[in-house]
Amino acid sequence: MRRLICCMIMLSAVAVSAYGRVPSDVDGAAVEWRRASQGGDGREKNGPRMTFERTSHDFGDVARHGGDLIKEFRFVNDGNAPLVIKKITKSCSCLTVTYSRKPVLPGEAAVIKIKYEPHKIEAGIFHRVIQIYTNVSDDVRLITIQGNSIDDKTSRKRRQ
């Protein structure tokens, strides 16, 4: 009985590892076809593609009542179709996001502007996430900002 179970396990492991494999004599042709249809780098060339210069920013130590902090995140549409930002969600009401509602044409650049208002939250270390939903299939892009919000009273005590 043990041998039968072991044989069945071995057969199922071989079947699972062989699933989806292309015979070796056509492997080269399949790889070449995949490269040609995807633009050579394994990523789809058809459709829009959002490429950021940077996706995170560290503000460092900031005064809690020192004013709003603004950071612009530049991106380029590296695809071959217009890129449309469908919606942007933010992890905190202390963030305001501004962006163009117009489609970004292939090869063009655009900016997502993030305004962080430290006076709206408690003093301390912060880490906030912005989620970007576009017309790129099943792709959610993330932008993060972080820093340390210092209360005015705390900063005065440290100076004295």
In this predicted model, what pLDDT tens digit does every residue of 23-49 receive, in sequence order?
444 444 444 444 444 444 545 568 999
| Tokens found for residue 145 | 């900002």
Domains of the chain, by residue range, sit at 50-159
| CATH value of 50-159 in 3.40.50.2300, 3.40.80.10, 2.40.128.20, 2.60.40.10 | 2.60.40.10
Cβ neighbours of residue 151 closer than 8 Å, sequence gap 6 or more = 64, 123
Helix runs in the chain, H state only: 2-18, 24-38, 152-159
- Please give, one letter per residue, the 3-state secondary structure of 87-102: EEEECCCCEEEEECCC
SS3 43: coil
In this predicted model, what pLDDT tens digit does every residue of 107-145 receive, in sequence order?
999 999 999 999 998 999 999 999 999 998 778 999 999
